[in-house]
Structure 1
Amino acid sequence: MGTPALRGRRVVITGSQKTNEMSIIIEKQGGTPIIRPLQGITIFEEAQLAEPLRQFVREGADWVILTTGRGADSLVEAAERLGIDQQLQQRLTEANIASRGYKTSAFLKRKGLRAVMSDDDGTMGSLVQKLDSIDFGGKRVWIQLHGEPSPELEQLLTRQGASQVQSVLPYRHIPPEKAILETLLSEVEAGSIDAVCFTTAVQVRYLFRYAMETGRDSMLRAAFNSDVLAAAVGKVTAGALEAYGMERVIVPAAERMGAMIVEISRYYEAAAAAGKGGESWL
């Protein structure tokens, strides 16, 4: 048998879910998993949805923009508990719907709804680009977000002439502990880790925001573009890394955590075969 691809490699997992499964895969490849959860926690704020949902079923909207399948499902579930789910369904049927991502498209299919504009790329940047070609003059727009506000999207709609823009956030992200952010930054700076696995874009943003707050964003960027391998579970997460200046990001074809570890292993195998020892060679 050949040498395990991750032998001697320290691989950081920044997610908070399925860490045991990811750790086992890394260990089977000979690596050492390091858990540094950067997700924080996500709080479902149902109490904050009641009035926006009631207002929506009273007044409706010309456009509804749905950005996540999970968030869209949570709106329906909250409406059911409020006893206004049928009215919500009717308002959604009446509106022009724009959707982001395949999970949101699946939600629409389950509910018998149709989007007039779909962006299966899954990134907010791609969604904004597509919406930029639509005339929102005098239109009322209702946006379902997830975790964080999207000022870029709201500003676009305002520039395009929307008469009213309302955003609802069923879920809100709580930042990770600063001690974890500090530990990971220090490990990157010391060169004591080899790769970092990011499973959501929000993990990327928390890490780089903290690096900027502490004056180490240039160090972090340089490390990821040289000695430390950045891996993303999918293109949305990869897009967040690239937005912060990452020139080398490992992304699996199948957006799965296990597939991400396999791609990291392949990277190091190819690097070893090329005689580069794992340095940046792409």
Structure 2
Amino acid sequence: MAETVDDTGPLRGFTAGITAERKAGELGALLERRGAAVRYAPAMHTVPVHDDGELTAATEAVLERPVQHVVAVTGTGFRGWLESVQAQGSGERLLEHLGRAELLARGAKARGAIRGAGLRESFTAPTEEVADILARLLETGVAGERVVVQLHGDPMTDFRERLRAAGAEVLPIVVYRWTDPVDLPALDRLIDEVIAGEVHALPLTSAPAATNFLARAERTGRGPALLAALRGVFIACVGPVTAAPIARAGLPHAMPERARTAALVKLVADELPTFRP
């Protein structure tokens, strides 16, 4: 439950739009503690892909032959993959298979998911960014090797292409799909409020949400108006993956030093009061 707005906080008089689905409550509460008014409008809905056959086929491809490297991007995604395979009766087989590979974690949550499955990572990205993992893989060499990449949100096209260019066979694992949110009218209202200049900050925690926020405006004929209005909004992205669709749109944005919700909120509280587009 969101907390009452603090009239003495640094964000008093400012309004933040939240497009997240999973972390909306946590993010909103932190902003409200600092005085912000919050508009909630999830920009996407997460749907497991357990039943469409694609995850099963991708897992079978992984199991066909030994893999040398496994990249766990998120704790939720890695656990979701293992749970889905476990439900289909192949969990032990997959764990044994992955246990023979080098496991690389993007951050602490991915590392926790690896260890929670009884596996052990050999590398955790020091900056919690996939760029660290890519650098390590390219440095050690991946020619002729099979690399499993658990995706969550961003398709990591450049990451995968650079591994392929280095001679690797890349096996993407997609655990979730993203669809339009359940409450499309709420998303449309937020888009209209941004265009009207009623939203001052847009803290983003999800690449799919950022992508669909822009895409929904484009599909409904408000794309140019939204892009123009966003240049007057303080856009804060929790990390480079989330920032990717914002950067592709050519929009200015900021990122905290650490990819954490609390750090994102601190960035907004520190920078928004003096923000000048």
Query: Which interval holds the TM-score relative to the shorter structure?
Result: 0.7 to 0.9
1:218–1:252 Cα change, 3 Å: farther
Q: Distance in 2 between matches of 1:129 and 1:267?
A: 32
Contact 1:198 1:233 in 2 (8 A): yes
Aligned: 1:103 with 2:100: no
Tell me how many residue pairs correspond in the alignment: 269
Aligned: 1:131 with 2:142: no
Which of 156, 160, 171 is equivalent to 1:166?
Answer: 171
1:265 paired residue number: 269
Map Cα deviations across residues 31-70 of structure 1 (whole Å, 9 max, x no partner): 32211211x1111122333343345335332332222222
1:252–1:84 Cα change, 3 Å: same
Contact 1:63 1:98 in 2 (8 A): yes
Aligned: 1:42 with 2:46: yes
1:63–1:189 Cα change, 3 Å: same
Q: Distance in 2 between matches of 1:74 and 1:223?
A: 37
2:67 paired residue number: 61
Contact 1:224 1:246 in 2 (8 A): yes
Structure 1 runs not aligned, ≥5 long? 272-277
Which of 208, 217, 221 is equivalent to 2:214?
Answer: 208
Q: Distance in 1 between matches of 2:136 and 2:243?
A: 20
Q: Distance in 2 between matches of 1:138 and 1:75?
A: 25
Q: Distance in 2 between matches of 1:213 and 1:250?
A: 28
Aligned: 1:230 with 2:227: no
Q: Distance in 2 between matches of 1:144 and 1:2?
A: 43
1:111–1:242 Cα change, 3 Å: same
Q: Distance in 1 between matches of 2:32 and 2:106?
A: 35
Q: Distance in 2 between matches of 1:88 and 1:129?
A: 26
Q: Distance in 2 between matches of 1:100 and 1:252?
A: 15
Structure 2 runs not aligned, ≥5 long? 1-5
Contact 2:114 2:120 in 1 (8 A): yes
Q: Distance in 1 between matches of 2:173 and 2:111?
A: 19
1:263–1:137 Cα change, 3 Å: closer
Contact 2:153 2:207 in 1 (8 A): no
Shift of 1:169: 1.0
1:31–1:80 Cα change, 3 Å: closer
- TM, length-normalised to structure 1: 0.75
Aligned: 1:188 with 2:194: yes
Shift of 1:242: 4.6
1:154–1:199 Cα change, 3 Å: closer
Matched residue of 2:139: which SS? coil
Contact 1:224 1:248 in 2 (8 A): no
Matched residue of 1:89: which SS? helix
Residue identity (%): 26
Matched residue of 1:113: which SS? coil
Letter aligned with residue 60 of structure 1: P
The 5 Å alignment of 1:69-148 reads 69-147=75-153
2:3 paired residue number: none
Letter aligned with residue 186 of structure 1: D
Q: Distance in 2 between matches of 1:83 and 1:268?
A: 51
Contact 1:62 1:96 in 2 (8 A): yes
Shift of 1:104: 1.6
Contact 2:73 2:105 in 1 (8 A): yes
1:86–1:17 Cα change, 3 Å: closer
Map Cα deviations across residues 127-166 of structure 1 (whole Å, 9 max, x no partner): 444434343222233322224533323322321122x432
- TM, length-normalised to structure 2: 0.76
Matched residue of 1:173: which SS? strand
Shift of 1:213: 5.9
Letter aligned with residue 97 of structure 2: R
1:279 paired residue number: 276
Aligned: 1:199 with 2:205: yes
Instruction: Tell which structure's C-alpha radius of gyration is larger.
Output: 1
1:94–1:203 Cα change, 3 Å: same
